[in-house]
């Protein structure tokens, strides 16, 4: 143990900021963070042991109790559910003799659900020891179970089991654009850095992660800070359920993303870039490291980039450990500093006081990708596409009830109707645009458009047909927020758990008119008082489905004004079981009203 931990600490240069990396290594080796490792790490990094426990408990992929040597996690996104993830769980549980949420007695295998793994176009999907298992059809499930029973090392599993496809069904302005390495940097240097920033400004590029902050303003503000060093962070923590376009960009267009980061670094005066890669995309890590190495050899990273004296910049990859909240920029910075991903209090903004309390630009993968092409083609080229408030194109990750789930690039301003037609969706009941934190629209609103000013999305676009249950959708999303709430502030910590219970009461048929009013009021308290975007949007699945299909909620209610939350007869079930009787007298009628 000590030898292993010492080696890991040394590799992390004894930096407390790299605690996640250290704990990930310990987790991978020992299947959990053992008590003895906690003491060694605390001593080695000179941090309180409580910080290690707090981090280990915060992230879903770290554990204080041993997981199986084969740790199976099945994606629990609504689209994975629609593709039968419960059958996958049941089949694996039966074949491997392990409970869902448990570890088999011999420690060989553990099985559980996990938040969306970013494979909604090829679900039902899962992970084994962090590596993706897309398309879990029955034959594949049988094969997985057999490989585990035979204890075949993961490295010897057939490579096609882990094969992730990148189906691009529609390429537009950016995905079609030819590119050769170094082109954006050469153009930017030739044009001048201030002039290149002016082109980014002219393009009206807005952040692709969802919030839509103007990129040029962020870069300019950062460049004007006196504090140094400054940092460039690429937010590759694509956790919004239903989103997988960053997976595709990093898989197929990594050079263009890294070049966008390098252009940003030149403009803001940064020498250190970080990519925060979500744990679910571990399979991309080696590929990205190889791309970075190739770029160093091409003189596009490292010292004196493209021969420009004084411009040194390099990029490191840091892995997340399973926490949706770390997609929020300031939570991501906390995570990069080796802490639980709790969003910081603003002001100050991370542009002023970010990573290591220094000026930091945090941008989405797609934003850097777009910036690369804007640096080459100029701002007007980009601004000519889309709408005045939402220029350019947007990558959509389309999943759910359609014939062609995958990646689509559209100019902003495209109608939902057009998109549904292109992806082959019929008999649509509704569409979730922007993931659980976004907007649910009914089939009466299909002429609405994808744009910051109408339906804003970081890329998630989930289609539901008429066979789907609205409550199953809303409950999946609300459960997701309750699970992913960091728990820092009262309205989100307690409120999301209350929302989950109150929505379940109505969905289960125990709700009265009063309950629907209470639910709406609770939504407002959570939305209006929360610390960050997660809490502000956590009630959206209820608020927007209620707006689209109020009649479905009303049908679900009992016809009375009040229904007690307490079910007397159900509560007596345990007593009946113990007493081994089930006669009429063992049932009591609740006195209602």
Partner 1 sequence: MSGTLTIDGKTIPFAEGQSVIEAARCAGIYIPHLCHRPGYAPHGSCKLCTVFVNGRKTSACTFPAAANQNVVSDTPELKQDRLRLTQMLFVEGNHFCPSCEKSGNCQLQGVAYHLRMLDNHYPHFYPQREVDASHPDILLDHNRCIFCNLCVRASRDKDGKNVFAIAGRGINKRLIVNSASGKLKDSAISVEDEATRVCPTGAILIKRSGYQLPIGQRLYDQHQISEVALSMQDDHEQ
Preceding amide of 78 cis, omega within 30: no
Contact status, residue 269 vs residue 223, Cβ threshold 8 Å: yes
Residue with tokens 């034959």: 139
Q: State the angle between helix axes of 365-377 and 183-191 in degrees (0 to 180), rounded to the nearest 10.
A: 60
Which residues on neighbouring strands pair with residue 449, listed in sequence order?
415
Q: Is 432 in the site for partner 1 (CB under 8 A)?
A: no
CA 250, 279, 215 angle in degrees (round to 5)? Answer: 50
Cβ 489 to partner 1 shortest distance, Å: 5
Yes or no: say if 365 and 250 are a contact pair by the CB < 8 Å rule. yes
530 binds partner 1 (CB under 8 A): yes
> What is the chain's Cα-based Rg?
25
320-352 b/e (C-beta count within 10 Å ≥ 16 → b): bbbbbbbbbbbbbbbbbbbbbbbbbeeeebbbb
Three-class secondary structure assignment of 442-488: ECCCCCCEECCCCECCCCEEEEEECCCCHHHHHHHHHHHHHHHCCCC
Helix (H), strand (E) counts: the chain: 25, 15
Residue 65 as a binder of partner 1 (CB under 8 A): the answer is: no
The residue within the footprint of partner 1, chosen from 21, 26, 34, 58 (CB under 8 A), is: 58
Dihedral of the alpha carbons of 553, 556, 444, 479, in degrees to the nearest 10: 60
Cβ proximity to partner 1, 446 vs 497, nearer residue: 497
480 binding partner 1? (CB under 8 A): no
Residue with tokens 């309950």: 515
Closer by beta carbon to partner 1, 10 or else 562 = 562
| Nearer to partner 1 (CB atom), residue 472 or residue 497 | 497
528 binds partner 1 (CB under 8 A): yes
Site string (345-374) toward partner 1, x via CB under 8 A? x-x---------------------------
Question: Do the Cβ atoms of 278 and 324 come closer than 8 Å?
Answer: no
**Nearest of 333, 408, 413, 409 to residue 370 by alpha carbon:** 409
From the CB of 239, what's the least distance to partner 1, in Å? 14
Residue closer to partner 1, measured from CB, 57 or 592: 57
> Which of positions 15-44 make contact with partner 1 (CB under 8 A)?
35, 39
Cis peptide before 219 (omega within 30 of 0): no
Q: Which of residues 216-255 bind partner 1 (CB under 8 A)?
A: none
**Region of 170-178, 239-247, 418-426, 479-487 interacting with partner 1 (CB under 8 A):** 479-487
Nearer residue to partner 1 within complex by CB, 212 or 487: 487
Instruction: Give min distance, CB of 255 to partner 1, in A.
Output: 36
Q: How many CB atoms lie within 10 A of CB 110?
A: 24
Counting residues that bind partner 1 (by CB under 8 A) gives 39
The only residue of 43, 54, 570, 575 in contact with partner 1, by rule CB under 8 A: 54
Among 103, 482, 539, 557, the residue binding partner 1 under the rule CB under 8 A is: 482
| Shortest spacing between CB 389 and partner 1, in angstroms | 21
Can you state the angle between helices 215-223 and 193-203, rounded to 10 degrees? Answer: 150
Of 193, 192, 139, 181, the residue nearest 161 (C-alpha): 139
What is the C-alpha separation between 318 and 405, in angstroms, rounded? 29
Instruction: Candidates 86-94, 303-311, 368-376, 476-484: pick the segment binding partner 1 (CB under 8 A).
Output: 476-484
472 binds partner 1 (CB under 8 A): no
Q: Which is nearer to partner 1, 49 or 466 (CB)?
A: 49
Tell whether residue 483 is a contact of partner 1 (CB under 8 A): yes
* Residue 439 C-beta: closest distance to partner 1, Å: 21
Helix, strand, or coil (residue 307): helix
**Smaller CB distance to partner 1: residue 49 or 308?**
49
Q: Which of 516, 522, 517, 511 is nearest to 563 (CA)?
A: 511
For residues 243 and 485, which CB has a smaller minimum distance to partner 1 in the complex?
485
Cβ proximity to partner 1: between 140 and 493 the closer is 493
| Member of 485, 537, 545, 548 binding partner 1 (CB under 8 A) | 485
Tell the smallest beta-carbon distance from residue 345 to partner 1 (Å): 4
x/- letters, 486..515, toward partner 1 (CB under 8 A) = xxxxxx-xxxxxx--x--------------
437 makes contact with partner 1 (CB under 8 A): no
Is 51 a binder of partner 1 (CB under 8 A)?
yes
Q: Check binding of 565 to partner 1 (CB under 8 A).
A: yes
Q: Is 587 in the site for partner 1 (CB under 8 A)?
A: no
> 531-550: which residues touch partner 1 (CB under 8 A)?
531
Least distance to partner 1, CB of residue 343, Å = 10
Based on the shown chain and the rule CB under 8 A, indicate whether residue 321 belongs to the binding site for partner 1.
Answer: no
CB 244 within 8 A of CB 397: yes
End-to-end CA distance of the chain: 64
Residue 115 interacts with partner 1 (CB under 8 A)? no
Is 57 a binding residue for partner 1 by CB under 8 A? The answer is yes
CA 60 and chain centroid, separation? 13
Give bridge partners of residue 206 from the DSSP assignment.
214
Name the pairing type of β-strands 428-433 and 460-465: antiparallel
Cα(244)–Cα(118) distance, integer angstroms = 5
CA–CA–CA angle 211, 214, 216 (5° rounding)? 145
Say whether residue 49 binds partner 1 (CB under 8 A): yes
Q: Which stretch binds partner 1 (CB under 8 A): 204-212, 290-298, 527-535, 583-591?
A: 527-535
What's the min distance (Å) between Cβ of 50 and partner 1? 3
Question: Which residue, 477 or 488, has its beta carbon nearer to partner 1?
Answer: 488
Residues binding partner 1 (CB under 8 A): 35, 39, 48-51, 53-54, 57-58, 323, 340, 345, 347, 482-491, 493-498, 501, 521-522, 525, 528-531, 565
């Amino acid at each position: 143990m000590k030898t292993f931990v010492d080696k890991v600490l040394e590799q992390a240069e004894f930096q407390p900021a790299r605690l996640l990396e250290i704990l990930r290594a310990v987790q991978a080796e020992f299947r959990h963070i053992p008590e003895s490792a906690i003491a060694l790490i605390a001593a080695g990094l000179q941090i309180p042991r409580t910080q290690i426990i707090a981090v280990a408990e915060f992230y879903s992929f770290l554990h204080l109790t041993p997981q199986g040597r084969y740790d199976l996690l099945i994606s629990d996104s609504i689209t994975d559910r629609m593709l039968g993830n419960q059958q996958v769980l049941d089949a694996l549980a039966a074949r491997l003799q392990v409970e869902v949420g448990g570890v088999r007695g011999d420690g060989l295998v553990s099985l559980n659900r996990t938040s969306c793994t970013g494979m909604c176009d090829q679900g039902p999907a899962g992970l084994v020891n962090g590596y993706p298992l897309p398309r879990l059809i029955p034959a594949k499930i049988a094969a997985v179970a057999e490989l585990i029973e035979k204890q075949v090392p993961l490295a010897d599993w057939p490579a096609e089991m882990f094969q992730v496809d990148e189906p691009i069904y529609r390429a537009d302005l950016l995905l079609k654009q030819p590119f050769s390495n170094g082109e954006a940097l050469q153009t930017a240097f030739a044009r001048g850095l201030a002039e290149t920033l002016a082109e980014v400004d002219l393009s009206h590029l807005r952040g692709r992660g969802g919030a839509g902050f103007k990129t040029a303003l962020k870069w300019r503000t950062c460049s004007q800070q006196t504090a140094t060093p400054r940092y460039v962070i690429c937010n590759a923590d694509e956790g919004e359920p239903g989103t997988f376009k960053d997976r595709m960009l990093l898989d197929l267009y990594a050079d263009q993303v890294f070049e966008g980061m390098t252009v940003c670094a030149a403009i803001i005066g940064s020498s250190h870039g970080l990519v925060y890669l979500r744990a679910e995309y571990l399979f991309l890590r080696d590929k990205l490291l190889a791309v970075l190495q190739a770029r160093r050899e091409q003189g596009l990273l490292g010292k004196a980039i493209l021969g420009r004296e004084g411009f040194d910049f390099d990029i490191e990859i840091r892995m997340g450990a399973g926490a949706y909240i770390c997609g929020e920029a300031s939570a991501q910075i906390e995570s990069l500093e080796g802490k639980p991903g709790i969003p910081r209090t603003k002001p100050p903004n991370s542009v002023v006081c970010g990573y290591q309390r220094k000026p930091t630009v945090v941008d989405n993968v797609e934003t850097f990708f777009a910036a690369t092409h804007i640096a080459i083609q100029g701002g007007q080229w980009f601004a000519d596409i889309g709408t005045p408030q939402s220029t350019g194109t947007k990558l959509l990750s389309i999943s759910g009830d359609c014939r062609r789930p995958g990646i689509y690039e559209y100019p902003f301003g495209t109608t939902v109707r057009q998109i549904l037609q292109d992806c082959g969706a019929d008999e649509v009941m509704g569409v979730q645009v922007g993931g659980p934190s976004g907007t649910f629209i009914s089939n009466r609103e299909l002429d609405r458009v994808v744009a910051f000013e109408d339906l804003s999305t970081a890329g998630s676009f989930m289609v539901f047909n008429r066979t789907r249950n609205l409550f199953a959708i809303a409950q999946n999303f609300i459960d997701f927020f309750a699970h992913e709430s960091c728990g820092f502030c009262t309205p989100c910590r307690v409120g999301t758990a209350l929302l989950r219970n109150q929505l379940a009461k109505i969905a289960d048929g125990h709700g009265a008119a009063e309950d629907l009013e209470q639910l709406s009021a609770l939504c407002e308290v959570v939305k209006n008082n929360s610390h960050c975007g997660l809490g502000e949007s956590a009630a959206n699945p209820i608020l927007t489905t209620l707006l689209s299909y109020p009649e479905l909620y009303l049908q679900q209610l009992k016809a009375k004004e009040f229904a007690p939350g307490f079910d007397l007869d159900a509560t007596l079930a345990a007593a009946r079981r113990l007493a081994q009787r089930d006669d009429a007298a063992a049932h009591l009628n609740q006195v209602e009203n």
